[in-house]
Amino acid sequence: MTPEERPQPGPQHHRIPWPDFRSLARGAGGESSIRLLLSGERSRRLLMLWALNRELRRRGPLLGPLPPVDKAWDVFANIDAKVPEAMTAVLMSPQFGIWLSRALRLLRGNAASPAPQWAELGYVHAAAFAAAVRAGLDLQTHIPVLNGRAMVPTLGMVNLPAHRAWDVAEAVTSSEEGSSVRLDDMVVKLPSDPALAAPSWWPHRHVTVRAGEFVLRVVLDDLDPYRDLADPVPPARLSDVEASSWSDTIGKAWELLGRICPESAAAMSVGLTSIAPLPADDLNQNRSASTGDGFGAAMITPAADPVTLAVGLVHEFQHIKLGGLLHLVPILHAPANSVLVYAPWRDDPRPLSGLLQGVYAFLGIAGFWQRFRWDADDAEREAAEFEFAYARRQARIGIRSLLGSPFLTHLGRKFINELSAAVNTLQTHRVSTAAARAAWALATDHESTWRIRHIHPDDDAVGRLTGSLLAGAVAATARTITYVVASGGEDHWYHGRLALHRIGLYSPHRLRSIARGSSTMHSGWGVTRADLALATNDTPRAEAGYRAMLTTDPGNIHAWSGLVVAAAANKSTTAWRTLIRRPELVRAVYLKARQRGATISPIGVAEWLDRLPGIRTQPAWS
Amino acid sequence: MEVPEPTIETGLIDLVDVSISVLASYDTDVLRPSLSTVLAQVDRPRKNIGTGPPGRVD
């Protein structure tokens, strides 16, 4: 057998050493683990680029007035051979990943664009031009212009006349003439250092901050059309003052992370490469986002303070890590996407895959607050205690559905066991009584409300139970009550109690003032007197208030969940556990009994159900 | 004593040391299994959106 005849070895696949897998599964993952994820992302991007090239060549003139895709491919291959770091900078940028994913979805009919396809797909030529500028290699090509803006990925944006919504500009770079972009009679010259501003040239702003040995280098991306979750967005150029404020807050947040979460800082210094500012909303809520398509990018609203930004970065980096791992190994079988469950941070039912992301994120968030509470000053400590107690409780509630899921893969089972161990470790830390109580109350409140809204017990079974109740009998049937989980119940979900608890922790004097009636809350929170009593720990008064509300408005979900929390806090009934575990069933039987003209209290129904031996509820599909 | 777990072999082909010019010559059959998985992931993008306080979202 000659060497040529010997069977060639099969392709090598990415491998994950067990210590890295376990570390990532526990919510951590150091520098080496992040490099491992990055190497997977590189292979993935190359595969996607290969697929895009093949598809564009196969389909012919999809690039319209732009050069054929072969030209960009040849540029990439040439630069990769001669100046590989220039190609890597473009290939591995999160925005290139987001664009690649969208381009493939467009080609596969799984996305739509208001622009002609060539205008979006032509980003491939803009990327080739950017790589050539970075590499210092000569190139003459054409790139798309959207509303007078031509993106040069990873470098900046050219401002041109906007005669048409979509246009084509000539882009040239040469060692002798430098780099320029021309549309009609206007020529924009890029500065020799593209990081510098120039007429009609917006350079990407880079932020480099240090915390001891840890250095974070990120693009503050307000330009790239593919800096958002998927669809292209217009530039939202920050003023110099705004950019400076971002830089300052990132620096302070990074200093905090480097001091209290050095392992996270080490990982982020390798894997976090882009921060895209999101516009603030009317309520000044903190919002953040990320996508598996753009490994390394976080989108985030301007933070009121460095602590808020730090926890936002921790949150999104958890998603980034898990997204990278899920690109390498499946944790859940595909049907998990269609199973809806409770997620303690969401008002709507979530698929198991979303729950997994949330638990992973909240493990990181809880870990941050766990450490921050020892770093906080006296004024912040109690609030940090609460944030820790609440986040770890949410993670603990969330992991329940994952541990019991039949949709875990073999590796997924190992992953969830490790994740669960990490969640359990968080529960061993002591917190203040006030923080623990507030976390319990809010978590119980949220889950009760969610169950009442989204779990619908089988109506026939509820009818039979109600009949037995009214006959004074112990039910002979319907010990197992099936239910369905459904979205809906979209009427406004009041978060007034959550807001009150947070006000009490962050600003106790304000809560006292609201309770006295000397200051008010916005009516949009829907806060009642019973809520105020609950937030100020006058739980007997709160319970009485909710009972009174249900007398006149028996279906009031807000009053039902308030009653669950107050009655459980008071232990005013032996059936408080039934109220917590099955508030939707108690409410359904109560409402049915009222329909049939019975006079009974919600607590009376709960106590009757509590006396039924062996009653259980289960989803209809199990 | 805890038995060490083996290294995990993923389904993703390792192209880290493959240049783009060499990639062009790859047999489609070699890339197809990994590409099929990647395209399935692309068709079902994962977006994470969070808000807070009072509620966080994922």
Tens of pLDDT along A500-526?
A: 888 888 888 899 999 888 887 777 677
Is B31's pLDDT higher than 80? Answer: yes
Residues A65 and A173 placed together within one structural domain of the fold = yes
Q: Is position A116 within any domain? A: yes
| Structural domain span for residue A376 | 205-434
Q: Is position A502 within any domain? A: yes
**Out of A22, A40, A81, closest to residue B19 by CB:** A81
Residues A461 and A429 placed together within one structural domain of the fold = no
> 3-state DSSP: chain B helix, strand, coil percent, rounded to 5?
35, 20, 45
**Out of B21, B38, B55, closest to residue A47 by CB:** B38
Residue contact A104–B39, C-beta within 8 A: yes
Quickly state the pLDDT bin for B54 (edges 50, 70, 90): very low
Looking at residue A549, what is its pLDDT? Answer: 96
Residue contact B21–A80, C-beta within 8 A: yes
ipTM of the complex: 0.91
pLDDT (average), residues A23-48: 98
* Average pLDDT over chain A, rounded to an integer: 93
Looking at residue A283, what is its pLDDT? Answer: 62
**Out of A80, A286, A345, closest to residue B20 by CB:** A80
pLDDT (average), residues A15-21: 97
Q: Is position A445 within any domain? A: no
DSSP string, A138-176: -EEEEEEEETTEEEETTTEEEE---SSSEEEEEEEEETT
Give the helix ranges, DSSP H, for A197-335.
240-260, 262-271, 306-326
Looking at residue A144, what is its pLDDT? Answer: 98
pLDDT (average), residues A357-382: 94
pLDDT (average), residues A126-134: 98
Tokens for A48, please give them.
């996607």
Looking at residue A281, what is its pLDDT? Answer: 73
Residue contact A327–B57, C-beta within 8 A: no
Looking at residue A384, what is its pLDDT? Answer: 94
Looking at residue A480, what is its pLDDT? Answer: 83
Is A9's pLDDT higher than 80? Answer: no
**pLDDT tens for each residue of A530-580:** 999 999 999 999 999 999 999 999 999 999 999 999 999 999 999 999 999
Residue contact A47–B31, C-beta within 8 A: yes
pLDDT (average), residues A299-328: 96
pLDDT (average), residues A132-138: 98
Does B32 reach chain A within 8 Å, measured CB to CB?
Answer: no
**Out of B12, B45, B55, closest to residue A40 by CB:** B12
**pLDDT tens for each residue of A359-371:** 999 999 999 999 9
Residues A211 and A195 placed together within one structural domain of the fold = no
Tokens for A427, please give them.
């529960």
**Out of B16, B34, B48, closest to residue A39 by CB:** B16
Q: Is position A13 within any domain? A: no
Looking at residue A495, what is its pLDDT? Answer: 79
Residues A257 and A395 placed together within one structural domain of the fold = yes
Residue contact A328–B12, C-beta within 8 A: yes
Q: Is position A448 within any domain? A: no
Q: How far apart are CA A154 and CA A99, in angstroms?
A: 13
Domain boundary among A152, A175, A202: A202
Does B9 reach chain A within 8 Å, measured CB to CB?
Answer: yes
Residues A475 and A423 placed together within one structural domain of the fold = no
Residues A400 and A496 placed together within one structural domain of the fold = no
Query: How near does any CA of chain A get to the CA of B44, in Å?
Result: 9
Best residue of B12, B19, B22 to probe chain A, by most A CBs closer than 10 Å? B12
Domain boundary among A202, A219, A242: A202
Is A476's pLDDT higher than 70? Answer: no
Residue contact B10–A354, C-beta within 8 A: no
Residues A220 and A310 placed together within one structural domain of the fold = yes
Lowest mean pLDDT segment, chosen from A223-237, A259-273, A414-428, A487-501? A487-501
Best residue of B3, B9, B10, B34 to probe chain A, by most A CBs closer than 10 Å? B10
Domain boundary among A146, A168, A202: A202
Contact between A341 and A295 (Cβ < 8 Å): no
Contact between A602 and A552 (Cβ < 8 Å): no
Looking at residue B57, what is its pLDDT? Answer: 44
Residue contact A18–B8, C-beta within 8 A: yes
Q: How far apart are CA A466 and CA A447, in angstroms?
A: 24
Query: How near does any CA of chain A get to the CA of B1, in Å?
Result: 16
Contact between A277 and A236 (Cβ < 8 Å): yes
**Count of CB contacts below 8 A, A vs B?**
181
Q: Is position A9 within any domain? A: no
Q: How far apart are CA A339 and CA A343, in angstroms?
A: 12
List of long-range contacts for A379-383, beta carbons under 8 Å, 24+ apart: A380/A307, A382/A432, A382/A434, A382/A435, A382/A505, A383/A502, A383/A505, A383/A506
> What pTM value is reported for the model?
0.93
Looking at residue B52, what is its pLDDT? Answer: 58
Q: Locate the chain B residue with the closest alpha carbon to A106.
A: B43
Q: How many domains does chain A divide into?
A: 3
Sign of the C-alpha dihedral computed for residues A595, A601, A602 and A605 taken in this order:
negative
Residue contact A105–B45, C-beta within 8 A: yes
Looking at residue B55, what is its pLDDT? Answer: 40
Residue contact B54–A495, C-beta within 8 A: yes
Looking at residue A4, what is its pLDDT? Answer: 46
Looking at residue A489, what is its pLDDT? Answer: 59
Q: Is position A7 within any domain? A: no
**pLDDT tens for each residue of B40-49:** 999 998 888 8
Residues A377 and A469 placed together within one structural domain of the fold = no
Residue contact A15–B55, C-beta within 8 A: no
Kindly calculate the radius of gyration of chain A based on its CA atoms and give it in whole angstroms.
29
Q: Is position A415 within any domain? A: yes
Backbone φ/ψ region at A327: left (φ over 0), alpha (ψ -120 to 50), beta: alpha
Looking at residue A213, what is its pLDDT? Answer: 96
Count of Cβ atoms closer than 10 Å to residue A360 Cβ: 31
Quickly state the pLDDT bin for A477 (edges 50, 70, 90): low
Looking at residue B56, what is its pLDDT? Answer: 41
Residues A198 and A248 placed together within one structural domain of the fold = no
Residue contact A47–B35, C-beta within 8 A: yes
Residues A469 and A551 placed together within one structural domain of the fold = yes
Looking at residue B58, what is its pLDDT? Answer: 52
Query: How near does any CA of chain B get to the CA of A460, in Å?
Result: 35
Residues 6+ apart with CB under 8 A from B14: A11, A12, A13, A14, A39, A43
Is A230's pLDDT higher than 70? Answer: yes
Going across the sheet that includes A149-152, the strands are A186-190, A178-183, A166-174, A139-146, A149-152, A156-159, A201-203
Residues A468 and A351 placed together within one structural domain of the fold = no
Residues A110 and A53 placed together within one structural domain of the fold = yes
